């Protein structure tokens, strides 16, 4: 939930709209992403992997794409733990 919230905030502030996707061209490490919500790198890795598998996000070395912001928002609202 916290990781999804950070992704949505970053997307809202720094994301570039690409069709239905929101592109984040940031070289964010798992460590840096974990520090933002006060999480662990293991948790971030697990959440990111599941979000990728579920098609909500895509990620690379220096970029990330939010593919389904609505599902991420729903995850945050429900307090879903991934």
- The stretches in the chain having pLDDT less than 70 are 81-82
pLDDT at res. 81: 61
pLDDT at residue 80, rounded to an integer: 72
- Specify the pLDDT at position 28: 83
Q: Which of 44, 41, 9 is nearest to 24 (CA)?
A: 9
- Look at the pTM and tell me if it is higher than 0.75: yes
Beta bridge partners of residue 57, listed in sequence order: 66
In this prediction, residue 82 carries a pLDDT of: 58
| Angle between helical axes of 41-53 and 2-14 (0-180°, round to 10) | 70
Q: For the chain, give the longest Cα–Cα distance.
A: 32
Q: Provide the pLDDT for residue 22.
A: 95
Q: How far apart are CA 66 and CA 64, in angstroms?
A: 7
């Amino acid at each position: 939930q916290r990781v999804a919230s950070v992704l949505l905030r970053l997307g809202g502030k720094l994301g570039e709209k690409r069709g239905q996707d929101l592109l984040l061209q940031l070289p964010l490490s798992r460590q840096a992403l974990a520090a933002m919500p006060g999480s662990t790198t293991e948790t971030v890795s697990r959440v990111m992997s599941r979000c990728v598998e579920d098609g909500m996000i895509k990620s690379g070395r220096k970029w990330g794409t939010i593919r389904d912001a609505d599902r991420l928002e729903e995850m945050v609202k429900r307090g879903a733990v991934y």
